[in-house]
């Protein structure tokens, strides 16, 4: 089975994440995509929302998508969430699967700074989802998947929610409802940058 792994804080998961998963599935001929919410991100500040909320938002976002799944593998692990550790565990759990790490342009250009980047490339193929015309990030070898995907920034999305802006064009409806029902991201001091 060809399994894509789309990791991130998903703080919150938005339509850009779903579009990237669909694009990678199409470009790389994937059988499924695992959405893996990060436990302790090594390259950015901690997530604003609790792990349980981010996991549930992922589940709500993919409801009805038969080839999308959510994994709490990084949320269950102690310490920083390194992709290499996740890939090793996924190889153990799914020994027959061919793994593909799905990255956006911004993440792909930083892959050389990751923990054990050569081992990441050995354990999985890299699929880089870019917007048309953005090209391949320097130093990021992988399958280039140029597709028109929404330009949504998680930090800007959190700020918009805190301001009370309508963000329904950027979020799956069930995720927007979940955020509203729980008052997530409503406090500007908690939204971050």
What's 11's domain CATH number?
A: 3.40.50.620
Asked if residue 64 is part of any domain, the answer here is: yes
Strand segments (E) across 105-190: 125-130, 143-146
Nearest to 103 by CA among 14, 175, 16, 193: 16
Asked if residue 42 is part of any domain, the answer here is: yes
**C-alpha Rg value of the chain to the nearest Å:** 16
User: Is the distance from CB of 73 to CB of 36 less than 8 angstroms?
Assistant: yes
Residue 188: the pLDDT is 45
Residue 140: the pLDDT is 60
Asked if residue 82 is part of any domain, the answer here is: yes
* pLDDT lower than 50: segments of the chain: 188-193
Residue 151: the pLDDT is 86
Question: What residue numbers bound the domain in which 51 lies?
Answer: 2-151
Asked if residue 132 is part of any domain, the answer here is: yes
Asked if residue 116 is part of any domain, the answer here is: yes
Total of domains in the chain: 1
């Amino acid at each position: 089975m060809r399994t894509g792994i789309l990791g991130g804080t998903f703080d919150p998961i938005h339509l850009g994440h779903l579009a990237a998963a669909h694009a990678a599935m199409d470009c790389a001929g994937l059988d499924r995509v695992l959405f893996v919410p990060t436990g302790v991100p090594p390259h950015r500040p901690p997530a604003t929302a609790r792990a349980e909320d981010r996991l549930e938002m992922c589940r709500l976002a993919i409801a009805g998508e038969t080839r999308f799944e959510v994994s709490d593998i990084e949320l269950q692990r102690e310490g920083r969430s390194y992709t290499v550790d996740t890939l090793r565990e996924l190889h153990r759990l799914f020994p027959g699967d061919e793994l593909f790490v799905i990255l956006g342009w911004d993440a792909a250009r930083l892959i050389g700074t990751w923990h054990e980047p050569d081992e990441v490339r050995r354990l999985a193929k890299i699929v880089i989802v870019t917007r048309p015309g953005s090209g391949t990030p320097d130093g990021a070898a992988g399958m280039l998947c140029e597709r028109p995907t929404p330009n949504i920034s998680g930090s800007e999305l959190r700020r918009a929610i805190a301001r009370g802006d309508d963000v329904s064009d950027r979020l799956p409806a069930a995720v927007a409802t979940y955020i509203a029902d729980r008052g997530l991201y409503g406090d500007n001091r908690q939204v971050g940058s």
